[in-house]
Amino acid sequence: EDQVTQSPEALRLQEGESSSLNCSYTVSGLRGLFWYRQDPGKGPEFLFTLYSAGEEKEKERLKATLTKKESFLHITAPKPEDSATYLCAVQHSSASKIIFGSGTRLSIRP
């Protein structure tokens, strides 16, 4: 069964303290792995799509990487405005269904 597990559930960092969020996935045929950011009371906001192992994408202080079993979202020198829940999701190669993980709640202290 297709599955997505994110860790840690919550992460508190000091401003400027770099770290990584993990997304482990099981899917029989990956069409794409997605990272979204969700602020309280809002819908998720698209960040990245990764398609194959070894692929990397960057946006400002965020960098997403992909292996055959997991993805990492690296955050470099975070700022308080990076505080949000980060969601990972996968799409099966033959289906429209997208499966989300439970997210990592990231809090950056000034």
Partner 1 sequence: ETGVTQSPTHLIKTRGQQVTLRCSSQSGHNTVSWYQQALGQGPQFIFQYYREEENGRGNFPPRFSGLQFPNYSSELNVNALELDDSALYLCASSPLLAIDNEQFFGPGTRLTVL
Interface contacts to partner 1, rule CB under 8 A: 4, 6, 31-32, 34, 36, 41-46, 48-49, 87, 89, 91, 95-103
Our CB check for partner 1 shows the closer of 15 and 56 to be: 56
Our CB check for partner 1 shows the closer of 41 and 110 to be: 41
Residues with Cβ within 8 Å of 72's Cβ and at least 6 positions away in sequence, in order, are 20, 21, 22, 23, 64, 65
Rounded CA gap, 17 and 91, in Å?
A: 32
Q: Considering the complex, what minimum distance in angstroms separates the CB of residue 110 from partner 1? A: 25
Our CB check for partner 1 shows the closer of 30 and 75 to be: 30
Rounded CA gap, 68 and 55, in Å?
A: 11
Q: Distances in Å between the alpha carbon of 59 and those of 32, 41, 54, 62?
A: 18, 23, 17, 5
Our CB check for partner 1 shows the closer of 18 and 33 to be: 33
